[in-house]
Amino acid sequence: MEGAIQTMVKVFLKSSKGKESLGKKEFQNLVSSQLGNILTDTDSKEAIDNMGKGLDTDQDGKVGFEEFLKLVGYVACSLSEQRALAKDEHQQ
């Protein structure tokens, strides 16, 4: 798990170019390049823009690291639920 956390921090810092938050373009690039196999609509700039706005709790027009972690948590929970449902369906 330590490796996964280090990877998330590195990906965020690389995407933000060392800044504390991701601008609109940086967020779009991160989502489309890193989450394209997990999320739908990652080829839609409008969908990613709406996602970023939803995460932007302080309304500064950027996605900070804590806001980014909410997305990671949401994606992880969704994957966990999908796998649990698939397991239940397989056992029936």
List of domains in the chain: 2-91 (1.10.238.10)
What per-residue confidence (pLDDT) applies to 84?
80
Task: State the pLDDT at residue 92.
Answer: 62
Q: Average the pLDDT over 28-49 and give the result.
A: 89
Contact 71, 55 (CB under 8 A): yes
Q: What is the pLDDT of residue 15?
A: 97
Whole-structure pTM value: 0.84
- pLDDT mean over 16-41: 92
User: Roughly what angle, to the nearest 10 degrees, separates helices 45-55 and 65-91?
Assistant: 110
Question: Average per-residue pLDDT in the chain?
Answer: 91
pLDDT per residue as tens digits for the range 40-75: 888 889 999 999 999 999 999 999 999 999 999 999
DSSP string, 47-84: HHHHHHHHH-TT-SSSEEHHHHHHHHHHHHHHHHHHHH
Q: How confident is the model at residue 29 (pLDDT cuts 50, 70, 90)?
A: very high
